[in-house]
Structure 1
Amino acid sequence: MEGYLAYRCPHCGSDRCGNDANAGWDVVLQQSVLLGEFDNQWCNDCGDVTLEELTITDPIEIARIDAVRADLRIQQAASRLLSAGEAVLAVRHGPDAARSAAFDQLHSAISAARCGRGAGSGGRASSLA
């Protein structure tokens, strides 16, 4: 069974750990963005450590992660879904070709939002960090 990668402290088992990184400001996104990740690893409780990599294979935990990932896909697709819905409403009484194109746009946006939901390993065994 495939799973998701996770990292834990080898001393205390905590998942409150990570790598040192460099961030910068993205003026377009108006938020900090990751510029680079360094080799130095740490645990909030134990300090500098070399983290253990493990694979989450528990079906309940995998289902929980999958559900959160599906919700994130929908949030990321919200703008595209709204635009497609507005296009459909704008041409509801218009020519057949325009309605067909608007419905295609909506179908595509819905498919993108659902991409990977309930489908196999969809990105498993790759870092979520």
Structure 2
Amino acid sequence: MKLSANEAAKRTGKSVPTITRAIKSGKISAEKTGKGGYLIEPSELFRAFPAITEPNDETPPMLDSETHKRYPHETLSLQEKVSSLEVALADAKAERDEWRDQAKRLAMALPAPEAAEPEKAGQKHGFWKRLFG
């Protein structure tokens, strides 16, 4: 079923002049009618311009309810796994916090680093002297 330029404009949300310009520029191929209009294949039209969808008041069916009905044992199994992973995550976070606190306590208990002893005046030795004594 071929579409007129007017119908093509309605289905794509474009204006009729936009559709006819696309035909004249070669972006869309179409047949010219005897009255001067154009007939456009829908596949050719939607290749160049995306189709618009009309708003639909229907709510799409929810997959969630079907999943519970079809696979209840699998759903329960997955919920148990999620619960056990949440518990393991909470344990890991608590352990991490304990290690962090212990590292802070140890860092505060360390003695301050001593300053390196300044070399005695006149006792500086070059690399070769230190190497071979």
TM-score range, shorter chain: under 0.3
Q: TM-score, normalised by structure 2?
A: 0.20
Q: TM-score, normalised by structure 1?
A: 0.21
Q: Which has the higher helix share?
A: 2
Q: Which has the higher strand share?
A: 1
